[in-house]
Structure 1
Amino acid sequence: MNRTHLPGILAMAAIVVASNILVQFLFGQWLTWGAFTYPLAFLVTDIMNRVYGAQAARRVVLVGFSVGLICSLIGTQIVGEFGPLVTLRIALGSGIAFLSAQLLDVAVFSALRNGSWWRAPLASTLLGSTLDTAFFFTIAFSANLVFLEPGNDVSWAAEVLPILGFGPAAPLWVSLAIADWSVKLGLALLALIPFRLITARLNPAH
């Protein structure tokens, strides 16, 4: 690993660890604090891709994935009020969502890297974030996938309520997913500012 990649590696690791901790704390009715830190992983991936290329970005993604696995393993050993902090379904959903979404981000960014400076980071983050949200919440909470971990009671997530408290009726996990996805989309737009500033400083040619 090139030494110049170390800041990106450390940033990704810090984001993954922070998000795994902050996801335990609620923010309002539909979100956790982790929803505000995790999307920064896409910013790190995109900066690495712009400055050092797709291969470097993929390496940083694999580091983040490995750190996430370690966090999940630790979480399975910590028992909270309602059981282990991390269940098998959450671990599977988190790992599959992270790796799939981040690698999609790298691929989309690479395909669009020669266009306008904002197009690649915005499109790749929006698509990656959408895939991430869909994979994680479906795998972790959908009643259709209860066979993944029969002993894990996620019936609370299947409670039918108005979406976000005012929309059509749907399982609770759908509201959680939409709220999470909305934060990701908002942060994708805001992240264009630090993306532009950081990449201009590290790689003025771009």
Structure 2
Amino acid sequence: MLSSRYTFIYALLMAAVVVASNFLVQFPVMGTLWGIALGDLLTWGAFIYPVAFLVTDLANRQFGPAVARRVVLVGFVVGVTLSFVAAPSRIAVASGTAFLIGQLLDISVFNQLRRQTWWRAPLAGSLLGSALDTLLFFSLAFAPIFAFIGPNEDFAISSAPILGVFAAEAPRWISWALGDLVVKILVGVVLLLPYGALMNVLKPMPQVAAAR
């Protein structure tokens, strides 16, 4: 069945994105930009994770929200399971929770806007999903209040200037969260290019088109 085959492909892509981002979020971007220490601002996971929203939106556009939710669920189970091997348990738990809630929000927003201009649904879904995902992930992964999930990294909770530039200081993970969100927004905008390019290849199935 075509939908089953594509669901499997989409789920594999989703799992790969989750595992890669969970692993790379442990590594700050080294170097400086305009005098700002990038290690206080960004992790490499921010550049990979927005691809998850692209996968969800393509599945949603082609097969509808039910298949998109299946893709998210399969990607969630596989991704989190593998993440316990590739990353600390607290990172895996935080990522799984944020991923599931953020992706479901993306699906809901996409469905509300799918009849509008082609770029509005994927862009709005990605931006809102990224904001919620970032809030949940960094809070659960690094905030001391959630230490019962697992041990924290001293580097993550040490103080640093907000966004690496403002005089006020905050735990380093807050700057990571703000920096990652900015990158996710920028990457989400850039990913409209492959989404637009694939629109003519991955066309909605007849039942999805009829529902529109």
CA shift for structure 1 position 24: 4.3
The equivalent of 1:67 in structure 2 is 78
Query: Among residues 46, 53, 64, which one is paired with 2:57 in the alignment?
Result: 46
Higher relative contact order (Cα pairs below 8 Å, separated by 6+ residues): 2
- Paired residues of 2:12 and 2:75 also in contact (CA < 8 A): no
Query: Among residues 11, 14, 22, which one is paired with 1:12 in the alignment?
Result: 14
Distance 2:24 2:152 in 1: 22
Seq. identity, %: 49
Distance 2:97 2:152 in 1: 21
Give the TM-score of the pair, scaled to structure 2.
0.83
CA shift for structure 1 position 132: 0.5
- Per-residue CA deviations over 1:127-151 (Å, capped at 9, x if unaligned) read 00000100010011112223444xx
Distance 1:32 1:173 in 2: 10
Does residue 157 (structure 1) correspond to residue 138 (structure 2)? The answer is no
Stretches of structure 2 that go unaligned for 5 or more consecutive residues are 31-38
The equivalent of 2:36 in structure 1 is none
Residues 154 and 176 of structure 1: CA distance in aligned 2, closer, same or farther (over 3 Å): same
- Paired residues of 1:109 and 1:120 also in contact (CA < 8 A): yes
CA shift for structure 1 position 155: 4.0
CA shift for structure 1 position 18: 2.6
Instruction: Indicate the larger mover: 115-124 or 20-29.
Output: 20-29
Distance 1:18 1:121 in 2: 22
Q: How does 1:139-154 map to 2 (within 5 A)?
A: 139-149=140-150, 152-154=151-153
- Per-residue CA deviations over 1:151-198 (Å, capped at 9, x if unaligned) read x24443222221122113211110010111111100110011111111
Residues 72 and 186 of structure 1: CA distance in aligned 2, closer, same or farther (over 3 Å): same
The equivalent of 2:174 in structure 1 is 174
SS at match of 1:201: coil
The equivalent of 2:35 in structure 1 is none
Tell me which stretches of 4 or more aligned residues in structure 1 moved more than 3 Å: 20-26, 153-156
Distance 1:34 1:160 in 2: 21
CA shift for structure 1 position 37: 1.3
The equivalent of 1:3 in structure 2 is 5
| Amino acid of the structure 2 residue aligned with 1:13 | A
- Per-residue CA deviations over 1:61-109 (Å, capped at 9, x if unaligned) read 111101222123324xxxxxxxxx403x322211100000001100110
Tell me the C-alpha RMSD between the 2 structures. Answer: 2.0
| Amino acid of the structure 1 residue aligned with 2:5 | R
Stretches of structure 1 that go unaligned for 5 or more consecutive residues are 76-84
Residues 153 and 116 of structure 1: CA distance in aligned 2, closer, same or farther (over 3 Å): closer
Distance 2:5 2:24 in 1: 29
Number of residue equivalences: 194
The equivalent of 1:80 in structure 2 is none
Distance 2:12 2:152 in 1: 36
Residues 140 and 20 of structure 1: CA distance in aligned 2, closer, same or farther (over 3 Å): closer
Distance 2:157 2:22 in 1: 23
SS at match of 1:115: coil
SS at match of 2:201: helix
Residues 165 and 59 of structure 1: CA distance in aligned 2, closer, same or farther (over 3 Å): same
Give the TM-score of the pair, scaled to structure 1.
0.85
